[in-house]
Amino acid sequence: MNPGNPIDAFRRNAICRDLDDAAVTQLFALAEPVSFVTGSRIVRQGESSRGAYLLREGTVEVCVTLPGGGEKTVATLADGSMFGEMALLEHGQCSAGVVAVTHVDGWFIEREPFRALTAGRNPAALAIARTITAGLVERLVALNAELARHPAPEDRLLPASGAAAPAVDPLSGVPRSTQAEFDFRDFLPVLPFFRDFSPNEIDAVCARARVVDIPRGHGVFAAGQPATACYLVVRGAVEACAAIGGHERRMALLGPGTLVGYLSVLRGTAHGAVARARERALLLEFAAADFMSIYRGVSGADVKMQHAIHRNLLQSLARSNSQLSRLVTQARLSEALQARLLGASV
């Protein structure tokens, strides 16, 4: 390998991991060289996202603005890292700011040319999108782990119990069908999840799913249970809760048009949280094998489904980022108040 060859340096970036030569070459053709001096603010939180930055040399800090003022550094990235890759999947706003700690050289990939490739079902572009998705999934898992380190006022005390019971599938024995009490298929085009889907593409997705109708309070899956399926909420709501120490915290309340349990299916791991119906819920159940077949597929319906998965993932990241900012701010305010009270008592 010639270290002076730009494409060889490009190939060492994280986004190129697991990509074949054809995919790397196509991605490199979209990349524009960029440089930033020390102290440059490369990305501003809240501005419209335009594309992804790949670091060749240099170090940057990723910072989020806290509701109470100030910033918190949430990551430090160096050679071979990337940021802003979410913009290649969907339009949106930058969820964090990025500042150059040293002089930075790298590449910028604009969203629109990349999206044109995915819209055309280019195999290399779809493989790159899956690589980005895998990285964002791991980022969300790490973010949720960081969330668990911060106590929240809404945490509920779990009842005392002995040894943890084995995870049992709460949907075991619940009937599945292709029909429901109402004609839910006429309702699907209204859901944001199915935006841009044609009627035939919606039918193709539904053909891979089964209908599950459960009452309020019924479990969808248990923590520690193998992820053999994931679910799309059609009607009602599902809450996802995680056990943190001796407490339980609601991580998300998921309404119509939201995927539930898909992260564990994508990672091939057991569910890390419990999910239950907050109110009577109608769900579309995708067996893990069918879901992954769609995720890796190249048909028009498959690609539309992949875009919908990306939107769900980005919404989850935004929600967790917001929760973390809130908890960090609350902790700082509490520490400041305690220090003030201590000073007043001296």
Q: What is the mean pLDDT of residues 166-183?
A: 86
- Residue 190 above 50 pLDDT? yes
Confidence at 2, pLDDT banded by 50, 70, 90: very low
75: which residues sit within 8 A by CB, 6+ positions away? 61, 62
37: which residues sit within 8 A by CB, 6+ positions away? 100, 103
> Percent of the chain having pLDDT more than 90?
52
Q: What's residue 183's pLDDT?
A: 84
- Residue 338 above 90 pLDDT? no
- What is the spatial distance between Cα 183 and Cα 176, in angstroms, rounded to a whole number? 16
Q: What's residue 69's pLDDT?
A: 72
pLDDT in tens, 91-112: 878 888 999 999 999 999 999 9
Count of Cβ atoms closer than 10 Å to residue 32 Cβ: 10
Cβ-contact 43, 98 below 8 angstroms = yes
Mean pLDDT of the chain: 88
pLDDT in tens, 295-312: 999 999 999 999 999 989
- Residue 139 above 90 pLDDT? no
Confidence at 160, pLDDT banded by 50, 70, 90: low
User: How much is the pTM?
Assistant: 0.82
Q: What's residue 1's pLDDT?
A: 40
- Concatenating the DSSP letter of every residue in 261-313 gives SHHHHHHT-B-SSEEEEEEEEEEEEEEHHHHHHHHT--SHHHHHHHHHHHHHH
Q: What is the mean pLDDT of residues 113-136?
A: 88
Cβ-contact 63, 104 below 8 angstroms = no
